[in-house]
Amino acid sequence: MAPVNEETAGPLSEESTEAVEGIDVTIADETFRILVEWIGLDKDSSADRDTIDREALRLQGLTEAAAQSLERQASEQWSQSNPGKTPTYFDVVRAKETAWRAAREMVLSQELYSQVTPQIVAQIDQLAQEADSEIDAEQTRAREAHDPDRWKSLNVAPRPIAGKIVHRVWLEKPAWFRQLAKALVTQRIEDDQRVPMTAFDPIADELAEMIEKEIRLNPPKDPNVPF
């Protein structure tokens, strides 16, 4: 493009500033996510963190090179479409941001997402299925043994009706209380025991005392987080 019209100049957008001052946030986040969640690198390993950082830097460099090429193409097209005109500052910024986003998408698709092969996806799906089977088996064992404490470790199969009961009876309670309450109500349904239907049901106070006792014995890091 032609030189910028200084009269219409303004601050760069956050996205452009990130691209200039350091690694693009999306590139950094996506590199971490793919390499940890899909490729299997250990986020707590200093060696693997170095690998993640190096890959992010590599992708940043490829994106910068691709963005420059795309920006030149856009500049040539703009000049051909607007002969004799001078682009405003915002024309230039818009062209830079468009080129950067396009380049980033292209690089991430070709260089990062392509590392997640169909074989890796199949392997992770298999591991997830095996984990689900183990959880189902443990929940079945605990249910058949009528383990009276299985609700404390959430070792019960989710039941939508339990969630509805907890919503009706203990809506104002913190998230972790409600999570334990859903497990306890589920357990009592499985064991053919009474469950509260309203907040005024006498059994509601009894169960609430059980849940609060468990929370006092094993307090969560954040009672407002349901896990």
State the pLDDT at residue 2: 40
Report how far residue 100's alpha carbon sits from residue 104's, in angstroms, rounded to the nearest whole number.
6
State the pLDDT at residue 109: 93
For residue range 123-179, what is the model confidence (pLDDT) as tens digits? 878 887 887 788 778 878 877 888 899 999 999 988 899 999 999 999 999 999 999
What's the mean pLDDT in 42-69?
93
State the pLDDT at residue 225: 67
For residue range 97-122, what is the model confidence (pLDDT) as tens digits? 999 999 999 999 999 999 988 888 88
List the single range of 57-71, 77-91, 202-216 with lowest mean pLDDT: 77-91
State the pLDDT at residue 141: 83
Tokens of 2: 């032609």
State the pLDDT at residue 17: 40
Query: Which position has the token pair 């059980």?
Result: 210
Domain range annotation of the chain: 6-116, 146-217
What's the mean pLDDT in 191-199?
92
Note the helical H segments in 42-174. Answer: 46-81, 89-107, 118-144, 160-169
What's the mean pLDDT in 174-186?
95
Contact 98, 7 (CB under 8 A): no
The length of the chain in residues reads 227
- Which residues fall within 8 angstroms of residue 1, CB to CB, at 6 or more apart? 74, 75, 78, 79, 87, 91, 92, 95
State the pLDDT at residue 55: 93
